[in-house]
Structure 1
Amino acid sequence: MQSSMPWFTVYHPSVIEKPVIRFIKEVWHFRNKPILVVLDPQGKLVCPNALHMMWIWGSNAFPFTSLREESLWREETWRLELLVNGIDPVILNWIKEGKYIFLYGGDDIEWVRKFTNNARAVAQAAHIPLEMVYVGKSSKREKIRRLMTTITMEKLSYIWEDFTMIWFFWTRIESMLYSKIQLGKLDDHDPMMQEIKKLLSYDREGGWAVLSNGSNVVVNGHSTTILPTLVEYELWKDQVPVKGFDLALEDHHRTIHGISHPCCRFDFPMTMGRIPGTMKCPECNRAMEKFSTFLCCHDEVIPDVLFQ
């Protein structure tokens, strides 16, 4: 492996002095997950871990400094491209065509059937062009594989057959959270980051769906709120000619959300160096409770290396 690397490597780990190892662990917060520390030509630290911004923005993040990371966040908006850019050109074409697009996930096939059938029925009744894509889940790989087979056989929606695409999607979403943690701006009342936190939480607690009209995100909902919104279309269809489809759906979803409050949950592996001491709930903005959890999902691990 060492001979195949195009960069310099330490000849053997034993040559690294103990004070250096302690420095890397205590100051750079290295545990077991890879980090990419960036130094300028004078050896000054300019980013404690550039991997997050690489996953989010790719080469556009060059020169991979924390200043560049902050600048990219200031330029960013809550839009569908933020979630899928660099993953699937099919969805980018749907965005250009101005279609309504549902990204959805979860591991309950009965909920998937009800959701996709109701979404299709609402689209037909409202006369809007709708596409749907199942993007899996960040864990339970084998269960998701079986669920995707069912979705394909029953022609419920478009799926990402390549698990690398699913892995890349969730890695990028998690990187957005870790990037904000690293910048110390996790709870700065940023509406876009609240939506990212919701998405990560929904993935841990059931199903979810994000609806966009072209690039613009209309609603980001948990399975317990987005499905009832679609099922109850008859209750808000009269508002569509008045408010437009987007606002009518968003208003009814907000009403249901006010009644049903799904729990929010975030899991941080102990191997991640920077874990926030506190977090605020993206739904109610209260300080969240903190627990220690032992978890085994028996998943196969998708390799960290995407490109050769």
Structure 2
Amino acid sequence: MNVLERGESPMPMFTTITNLIEVMLDLTHCIIRFKELSEQYISLDTPELVTATTHIPITVYWMIRSVVTCSSILFNLIGMGHEYELSSLAHKINNIHDHLKHHLDLCNRHVEEKKHIEAYLTLIRIMDTPHLDNIKPLKHLIYLKDDQLPLYESSTKNRVSIDVLKKKIVLLLISDLDIPTQELSVLDQMYREARENPTRPESQYEVVWLPVVSNPRTTPWTTENQIKFERLRNMMHWYSVFHPSLLDPAVIKYIKEVWHFNHKPLLVVMDPQGRIVNTNGLHMMLIWGSVAFPFTKHEGRSPLERGNLEDRIKDEKYICIYGGKDMEWIRKFTTTAREVARQAEIPLEMLYVGKSNPREKVLKCNNIIRAESLNYVLPDSSAIWFFWARLESMLQSKLRYGKSTDEDDPILREINVMLTYDGNDRGWAVICRGSKEWMRRANGDTVLTSLDSYEEWRDEADERGFLPVLNERVEANRPPHHCNRLILPGSSGRVPETVVCGECGRLMERFFLYRCCTD
């Protein structure tokens, strides 16, 4: 009545009391959540929980004091004089709530980390355990929530059950949202061929795209990301997870740490019993296509040795493969090589393969060579990329079969040398006849100098053979000082322990190189 007699409104006081009650309720809920923390994942001696627990008694004291004060004021309604006290109590309770909420967040983070570790270890156990079929491993890889259908079928635009993969060979395509179009097109071509001939043994597999983003449950998922994801998903003719959030953080950790995913796409092969038989069949696919089915690790010799690619070269013709992006050298080399072949009366075919990263300069060289009819060229940038991708895939395949150095493996040594030349901007060339007669690879200046002096060794070549004598000239013309380099992408997978220089035969030193994608 005292307030009403003075003509003052009680509403400001009621507002202050309401604010205090709200912060008390928030604080109460916060204390309750501490009690709800699972002892399975957080013990009573966890530092974050110990710190919070020591503050709870004083918190309860201030809660009781606030309740008594509110009760007294509401009971007596004794004027505006206690509004300051109410605001002070609300401020105090709010500060206590913020402090406890901070420690509650730390405890929840601790619990999530424990759950994450447990899920990760469970996944390792599941993937290493024999099963009757592949459903259980797949369900642990792809998170199932509320019995929702986890897979998306591009051809029908429908969600489907994971049971469509039961007892099938499953190729798990793992990438981020920046999957290179070249790898995608090669896999797409192979998959289309399999679907067109479904009765063939090598067609008995399915592909599932697992898009790996940093952490799809905590990282903000933008509209731009969703558009990009859906565009990629609709480009693929195979299955995809319906959304990247269906990959648990523990699964992403497993993919990165066990399967060694590092930006570059992987094609992990799971057999009908759920066993991982190859952590990256992409290299075999690039080399062999559908012939690589079922993409398992072969016993004994590697596929490179079981079916030598060199046998496809016609024995009666000389084949010259060369690369680089110096158009002036290309003109000199092709003109000289064709003239020497004419004088030596040997059938020579030449193919320009550019560089592994066919940017503007390489494509320009390709167009000039085609326009001037200098020799054969690969039809487009995809074909150029595919040539070098197969070389790198051969390297990875060799390393996967336990070859760590090129000293005892001639194929690995040749691949390393080819990739070494690609790491330099200058031209290079190799000439072969059939699968047994080869000119040692040489840089552009060396091979051009050797061909320029053809008149000096022409008679000897007529007597002993063109390539044996050319090899001797190449060796004699190699420069005493040189600097070769082998550049492999940081995400390419395994790397050789040692690499021998293609020029002098000495072991090359290993350095770290960081560079932008310059042309």
Which bracket does the TM-score occupy, shorter chain normalised? 0.7 to 0.9
Of the candidates 250, 267, 279, which is equivalent to residue 471 of structure 2? 250
Q: More relative contact order in 1 or in 2 (CA 8 Å, sep 6+)?
A: 1
Give the structure 1 partner of residue 256 of structure 2: 25
**Is 66-75 or 141-150 further displaced after alignment?**
66-75
Q: CA deviation at 1:194?
A: 0.9
Q: CA deviation at 1:111?
A: 0.8
Give the structure 2 partner of residue 180 of structure 1: 398
Q: CA deviation at 1:140?
A: 4.9
Q: CA deviation at 1:285?
A: 4.8
Distance 2:344 2:241 in 1: 62
Distance 1:247 1:161 in 2: 32
Q: 1:49 to 1:280 in 2, by over 3 A?
A: same
Give the structure 1 partner of residue 21 of structure 2: none
Distance 1:3 1:113 in 2: 44
1:196 partnered with 2:196: no
TM-score when normalising by structure 2: 0.51
Q: 1:134 to 1:176 in 2, by over 3 A?
A: same
Give the structure 1 partner of residue 219 of structure 2: none
Give the structure 2 partner of residue 296 of structure 1: 516
Give the structure 2 partner of residue 38 of structure 1: 269
**Is 40-49 or 111-120 further displaced after alignment?**
40-49
Q: How does 1:116-131 map to 2 (within 5 A)?
A: 116-131=334-349
> Which segments of 5 or more consecutive residues in structure 2 lack a partner in the other structure?
1-231
Q: 1:287 to 1:213 in 2, by over 3 A?
A: closer
Distance 1:252 1:265 in 2: 23
Distance 1:173 1:53 in 2: 11
Give the structure 2 partner of residue 303 of structure 1: none
Give the structure 1 partner of residue 371 of structure 2: 153
1:170-199 CA-partner distances (Å, limit 9, x unpaired): 111111112222223141511122111111
Total equivalences in the alignment: 284
Distance 2:433 2:399 in 1: 30
Of the candidates 229, 234, 237, which is equivalent to residue 455 of structure 2? 234
1:75-130 CA-partner distances (Å, limit 9, x unpaired): 2447274xxxxxxxxxx6xx37x221211111111111111111112111111122
Of the candidates 184, 202, 207, which is equivalent to residue 427 of structure 2? 207
Does the 8 Å CA contact 1:62/1:68 hold for their aligned counterparts?
no
Q: 1:34 to 1:113 in 2, by over 3 A?
A: same
Please identify the structure whose Cα radius of gyration is greater: 2
Distance 2:305 2:319 in 1: 26
Does the 8 Å CA contact 1:224/1:260 hold for their aligned counterparts?
no
Q: CA deviation at 1:215?
A: 4.5
Q: CA deviation at 1:18?
A: 2.1
1:217-247 CA-partner distances (Å, limit 9, x unpaired): 5212221321111112122212113211121
Q: 1:200 to 1:167 in 2, by over 3 A?
A: same
Q: 1:298 to 1:246 in 2, by over 3 A?
A: closer
TM-score when normalising by structure 1: 0.83
> Which segments of 5 or more consecutive residues in structure 1 lack a partner in the other structure?
82-91, 300-308
Query: What amino acid does structure 2 have at the position aligned with 1:139?
Result: N
Give the structure 1 partner of residue 438 of structure 2: 218
Sequence identity percentage: 45
Distance 1:66 1:261 in 2: 42
Q: CA deviation at 1:261?
A: 5.9
